[in-house]
Amino acid sequence: MYGNNSYIYSYDKEKNSYNFLKQIFGEGKTLKEENKNYISAIGFLIKISNKINLIAYHNPYAKIPLDKNICKNLFDKQYEISPAFNEQRDWEKY
Q: Where are the domains of the chain?
A: 5-93
The string of pLDDT tens digits covering residues 26-80 is 676 666 666 678 888 888 898 889 999 999 888 888 889 998 888 888 889 888 8
Q: Cβ atoms within 10 A of the Cβ of 66, count? A: 17
60-68 own/partner pairs: CB under 8 Å, 24+ apart: 61/31, 61/32, 61/33, 61/36, 61/37, 62/37, 62/38, 63/37, 63/38, 64/38, 64/40, 65/40, 66/40, 66/41, 68/94
Q: Which of 47, 68, 66, 44 is nearest to 55 (CA)?
A: 44
The string of pLDDT tens digits covering residues 8-22 is 788 888 999 888 887
